[in-house]
Structure 1
Amino acid sequence: MTHSEKVVDLLHAGQFDEMETELAKAIETDGLDLLTDLAEYLSMMGFMAESRQVYEKIAAKDANNTDILLNLAEMKFDDGDLDGALELLYKIEATDDNYVAALVMIADLYQADGVWEAALEKLLEAASLTDSPLVTFAIGELYYNQGKWREAISHFAKLSQRQILELTKISTYQRIGTAYASLGEFENATKFLEKSLEIDHDDNVLFELAQINFATGEATRAIDYFKQLDALAPDFDGYAYPYAQALIEENDFEAAFTVAKDGLSKNPTDVPLIHLTSRIAYALHDLEGAEKYLTQALDLPDLHDETVFLLSNLYMEQEDFEAVIGLESLLDEEHVLAQWNIAKAYRELDQDEKSLTIYDEISQSVLIDNPEFLLDYAQMLIRNGRTADAKTSLSKYLSLVPDDDNSQALFNEL
C-alpha cells in the first residue's frame, strides 16, 4: 500500500494525527500521479491545507504542469494570498493551453483587489484568443460588479441563458433584469426577470419582481410575488418590511401587522421593521402595542435616536408631556426633531426657560429651512417677549410661505 493510499484510509478512520505523518511521507516518496490524485481527493474532502501541501510539492517537482499551477493558484486565492496566486499564474505562458484560463483567473484576482482596468485588460485579451461564452460572461460580470449596467447588458445579451445557467448556475436574464432595474427601466427589468423565473425558480428574482412592482405603484402584483416568496422561502432575509409596506399601500393593515410580526419573530433585532410594526399597531388603534414595540427598540443600538424620536411622537399624540421629557436623557446624539418635541413638551408644562434653550439650539440646525418650525419658534419667542428674534424667524418663514396672510399680519403687528 502506498503512502497516499494510507493517507486516505487514515482520513476515513478519523486518525488525523497519523494521517499528517503519513502525508509527509507521501509527499516525500510517492510519484506525481499518485500525489495528483491525492491532492484532488483531499480537496474534494475539504482538507484544503493538506491538499495545498501536496500541490506545492507537485509544482516544485513539475514546474511545467500548468494544471497544477491553476489549482494551486486558486487555493492561494481562496486563502487570500493574492500575490502568491498571481506569481503562479504569470508563470503560464501564452503558448500554453491553460493560458486563457490563467488570464480569466488573473482578472478575478484583480477584480477582487478592485483593480478594474487591469482585470478588464486580461479579460479582453482572453476574448481575443477564444470565443468561449464563459469569457464573455466574465466580462459582463466585471461590468455588472462595477455598476456599468449598459455594458453589462450588452455582454450578457450575447449569451445563451440556458447554457450559462448550466455552466455557472447564474441566470443572464436575472443579471439583465437587475441591470435594467438599476437604470430605472422597470418595464424591461420586469420582462427579463419574469423570463428568468420561467426557466429557473430563484427566490432572489421573486423578491426583485416584488420590489419593482411596488416601486412602480403595482402594489397588488407586488403582494402576489411576496406571497409566493412567503410560501416558498419563508426564511428569505429582509422581505417582511417591503411586504408589509405593500399591504399598507392596499390598506390591509391587519395583514401587514401579521407579516410584520412574523418577520420580527425571525429577526427580533430588525429595528426598521420594529418601527414599521409600531406604526401599523398605531394605525390599528393599538396604542399600547405601538409603545411596546418602540420601547423594545430602545434596547437596540441601531437607529437608537430615531426610536427616541418616534416614541416622543407617540407620547406627544397622547399629550403625555412628562414622558416626552423623560426621553431627553436617552438621546445619544443630536436629533433635532426629537429635541423639538422635547422643547414643545417643556412649553406645554410651562417650563419656558428649558424649552427656549432647546429652541434656540435647534434653530441653528437644518430646521432653519423648515417652515413649520420657524412659525412655531416665532410663536414661542413672542410668548417670551423676544420680539426682534420673533420677527427674524417670521421673516424667514414668510420667505418660504409668502401666502400666509395671518402670519404676515402678525409680522406687521410686531
Structure 2
Amino acid sequence: MSYSEDTVDFLHQGDLIGMQNSLAKALKNDNSEMLADLAEYLQMMGFIDESQKIYDQIMSEDPETTDYLINLAEIAEDNGNLDEALNYLYQIPVNDENYIAALVKIADLYQFEGDFETAISKLEEARELSDSPLITFALAESYFEQGDYSAAITEYAKLSERKILHETKISIYQRIGDSYAQLGNFENAISFLEKSLEFDEKPETLYKIALLYGETHNETRAIANFKRLEKMDVEFLNYELAYAQTLEANQEFEAALEMAKKGMKKNPNAVPLLHFASKISFKLKDKAAAERYLMDALNLPELHDETVFLLANLYFNEEDFEAVINLEELLEDEHLLAKWLFAGAHKALENDSEAASLYEELIQTNLSENPEFLEDYIDFLKEIGQISKTEPIIEQYLELVPDDENMRNLLTDLKNNY
C-alpha cells in the first residue's frame, strides 16, 4: 500500500496526526500520479492547504505540465484569490488539451465577479473549439444569470433535456419555463414547466406552475396544482399564503382562511399570513377575528408599520377614530397611507390643528399625485374655512383628473369670488 493510500485511510479513521505524518512520507516517496490523485481527493474533502502543498511539489518537479493548473485555480478560488486563480488558468496555452476546460473555468470566475460580457465571450470561444453540450449549457446558464432570458432560451433549446438532467441535475425545460416567466409569457412558461415535471417532479416546479396559473387568472388549474402539491412532502415550502390568495381570488373565502390557518400552524409568526387572515375575516364579517389577527401581528417586528396601517384602516372603517389616533405613536418609519388615515381621523374628530399639520406634511410627498388624497385635503380646507388655500390644490387635482366638472366649477367660483 502506498503512503498516499495510507493518508486516505488515516483521514477516514479521523486520525489527523497520522494523516499528516503519512502525507509527509507520501511527498517523499510516492510518484506524481499517486500524489495527484491524493491531492484531488484531499481538495474534495476540504483539506485545501494539504492539497495545495502536493500540487506545488508536483509543479516544481515538472514545471511544464498544465494538468494541475485548473486544480490550483480552484484552490485559489476557494481561498478567495480570484486574481491568482485567473493567473493559473491563463498559463494554459491555446493548443493545450486543457485549454477548453480552462476557458470554461475562466468564464465561471468572471461570471462570479458579475462580468457577464467576458464570461460569455470565453464560453463562445470554448464552443467554437468543442461541440460539448455542457459548454452550450454553461453559455445558456450565463445568459440566464445575466437576465438575458431570450438568449438563454435560444441556447437551452439546443440541448437534450434527458442528457443535461443526467449530467447536471438541472432540467432544461424548467430553465426555459423560468425564462419565459421572467419575460411575462406565462402560457409558454407553464407549458415548459409542465414538461419538466415529466422528467423531474419537484414540488418547487409545481408551486411555480400553480402561481403562473394564478397570474393568468385560471384559478381552477392553480388550485388543482396546489392540491397536488399538498400531497407531497413540502414542509420546507411555504406555499400556504399563495394557495390561500388563489382561493380568495376564486371567491372561496372560508377555504382561504382555513389554508391561512394551516400556514400559521407551521409558522405562527408569519406576519403576511396574519395580515391575510385578518383581511379574509373582515370579508367574512368576523371583525373581532380581523382585529385579533392584526393585534397578534402588532407584537412582531416584521412589517410593523404595515400592521399599524392595516389596524388603523380597520378602525377607520368602523369610524373608531380615537382608536386610529391611538396607533399614531406606534408608527416607526414613514408610511404615507397610515399618516393619511391619522389625518382623516383628526379631521373627523375636529382636531383641526393636528389634521392640518399632517395634511401639510403629506402634500409635500408622493400623495400629491393621488387624486383621492387631493380631494380629501380640499374638503378639509373647505371645512375649516380656508377656501382660498384650496386653489393650487384644485389645480393639481385637475391636472390628474381634467374631466371632473364639479371640481372645475369650484375652481371657477374661487377665481371669481376670492
Normalised by the length of structure 1, the TM-score is 0.91
Aligned to 1:149: 149
What does 1:256-271 align with in structure 2 at a 5 Å threshold? 256-271=256-271
Aligned to 2:92: 92
Aligned equivalents of 1:71 and 1:399: distance in 2?
Answer: 66
Alignment partner of 1:248: what SS?
helix
Alignment partner of 2:96: what SS?
coil
Aligned equivalents of 2:267 and 2:385: distance in 1?
Answer: 52
Distance 1:36 1:287, change over 3 A: same
Q: CA deviation at 1:212?
A: 1.4
**After superposition, what is the alpha-carbon deviation per residue over 1:381-412, rounded to whole angstroms, capped at 9, x for unaligned?**
12212120134434443554455565566653
Aligned equivalents of 1:322 and 1:179: distance in 2?
Answer: 51
Distance 1:197 1:30, change over 3 A: same
Contact 2:203–2:234 (8 Å) recurs in 1: no
Unmatched segments (≥5 aa) in structure 1: none
Aligned to 2:379: 379
Q: CA deviation at 1:234?
A: 2.0
Distance 1:79 1:275, change over 3 A: farther
Contact 2:281–2:290 (8 Å) recurs in 1: yes
Alignment partner of 2:92: what SS?
coil
Distance 1:57 1:262, change over 3 A: farther
Q: CA deviation at 1:354?
A: 1.1
What does 1:142-221 align with in structure 2 at a 5 Å threshold? 142-221=142-221
Contact 2:140–2:156 (8 Å) recurs in 1: yes
Contact 2:275–2:293 (8 Å) recurs in 1: yes
Aligned equivalents of 1:92 and 1:3: distance in 2?
Answer: 30
Q: CA deviation at 1:2?
A: 4.6
- Code of the residue aligned with 2:80 in structure 1: it is G
Aligned equivalents of 1:86 and 1:403: distance in 2?
Answer: 64
Aligned to 1:316: 316
- Code of the residue aligned with 1:298 in structure 2: it is L
Distance 1:351 1:198, change over 3 A: same
Distance 1:216 1:389, change over 3 A: same
Aligned to 2:277: 277
Aligned to 1:247: 247
Distance 1:395 1:114, change over 3 A: closer
Distance 1:13 1:285, change over 3 A: same
The range that moved more, 328-337 or 159-168, is: 328-337
Q: CA deviation at 1:347?
A: 2.5
Percent identity reads 50
Aligned equivalents of 2:13 and 2:75: distance in 1?
Answer: 26
The range that moved more, 15-24 or 178-187, is: 15-24
Aligned equivalents of 1:299 and 1:25: distance in 2?
Answer: 63
**After superposition, what is the alpha-carbon deviation per residue over 1:51-96, rounded to whole angstroms, capped at 9, x for unaligned?**
3443343334334443422223223323432122212212222222
Aligned equivalents of 1:171 and 1:261: distance in 2?
Answer: 34
The range that moved more, 398-407 or 125-134, is: 398-407
Aligned to 1:57: 57
- Code of the residue aligned with 1:385 in structure 2: it is G
The range that moved more, 234-243 or 153-162, is: 234-243
Aligned to 1:113: 113
Aligned equivalents of 1:330 and 1:24: distance in 2?
Answer: 66
Distance 1:27 1:262, change over 3 A: farther
Superposition CA RMSD, Å: 2.5
Aligned to 2:7: 7
Distance 1:335 1:103, change over 3 A: same
Normalised by the length of structure 2, the TM-score is 0.90
Alignment partner of 2:231: what SS?
helix
Aligned equivalents of 1:30 and 1:135: distance in 2?
Answer: 36
Unmatched segments (≥5 aa) in structure 2: none
Aligned to 1:102: 102
Alignment partner of 1:232: what SS?
coil
**After superposition, what is the alpha-carbon deviation per residue over 1:126-172, rounded to whole angstroms, capped at 9, x for unaligned?**
11111111111111111111111221111111111111111111111
- Code of the residue aligned with 2:4 in structure 1: it is S
Distance 1:398 1:86, change over 3 A: closer
Distance 1:267 1:28, change over 3 A: farther
Aligned: 1:330 with 2:330: yes
Aligned equivalents of 1:24 and 1:264: distance in 2?
Answer: 57
Alignment partner of 2:68: what SS?
helix
**After superposition, what is the alpha-carbon deviation per residue over 1:297-322, rounded to whole angstroms, capped at 9, x for unaligned?**
33444433222211110121233222
- Code of the residue aligned with 1:14 in structure 2: it is G
Aligned equivalents of 2:339 and 2:173: distance in 1?
Answer: 49
- Code of the residue aligned with 2:316 in structure 1: it is M
Distance 1:5 1:403, change over 3 A: closer
- Code of the residue aligned with 2:142 in structure 1: it is L
Alignment partner of 1:66: what SS?
coil
Contact 2:219–2:247 (8 Å) recurs in 1: yes
Q: CA deviation at 1:254?
A: 2.1
Aligned to 1:307: 307
**After superposition, what is the alpha-carbon deviation per residue over 1:173-232, rounded to whole angstroms, capped at 9, x for unaligned?**
111122122222222222222111112212232122112111111111111112222322
Aligned to 1:355: 355
- Code of the residue aligned with 1:271 in structure 2: it is V
Alignment partner of 1:393: what SS?
helix
